[in-house]
Amino acid sequence: MLFPPQEFNKIKEDLVIYECALKMVKIRIDVLLDEFRNFHINNPIEHIKTRLKTPESIVEKLHRQNLPITAESARKNLTDIVGIRCICSYARDVFFVAKVLKNQPDMKVRSEKDYVTNPKKSGYRSFHLILDVPIYLSNRIEILPVEIQIRTQAMDFWASLEHKVRYKYKDQMPEHLVLELIDCAEKIAELDDRMFLIQDIVDLAY
């Protein structure tokens, strides 16, 4: 499914500005990475991943949600056109990184969901932030949402595997796989905590 012809150019123009929002937030995180690497003993961010939805994926999501297939509808209803994922060393770093990003003075928190403290029933763990980001153009300021997911490497591996399994079975996973994934999620959370305790002991030894 494609955008109606009259909407195609509109969404292409919008995506240029959304890409600016992606670049802006990525630069902020890169600055934090440079700070931690050069001035702190530990770096809470291992690496980041970025994603900008394609017109096709935007149309698919609007269609799936029974929303109008227009650029205006995408702007109004979709908050994940821009996605950034911060992969942290330890679970406790997730909250530190979230706090730092929320304290950026020109970015406003639209919503936040803490699936680390309160995991989904599936076992999914991650901290989700949607920040409203100002983009300064020559004749106006655009405020666009950027979705940021913050999780540990173990949480990210689990989420990737769960997504593959769910896609394989078209959201109809056998019960034994559902239970196995939930059990793995619990063990990963325990492992994250134990790894942090080891790091804490090492830090205190110096």
Catalytic residue ranges: 147
Q: Are 135 and 141 in contact (CB under 8 A)?
A: yes
CA-to-CA distance for 167 and 161, rounded, in angstroms? Answer: 10
Q: Are 185 and 150 in contact (CB under 8 A)?
A: no
Q: Residue 112 burial (CB < 10 Å; 0-12/13-18/19+)? A: middle
Which residues have a Cβ under 8 Å from the Cβ of 61 and sit 6 or more positions away?
Answer: 53, 78
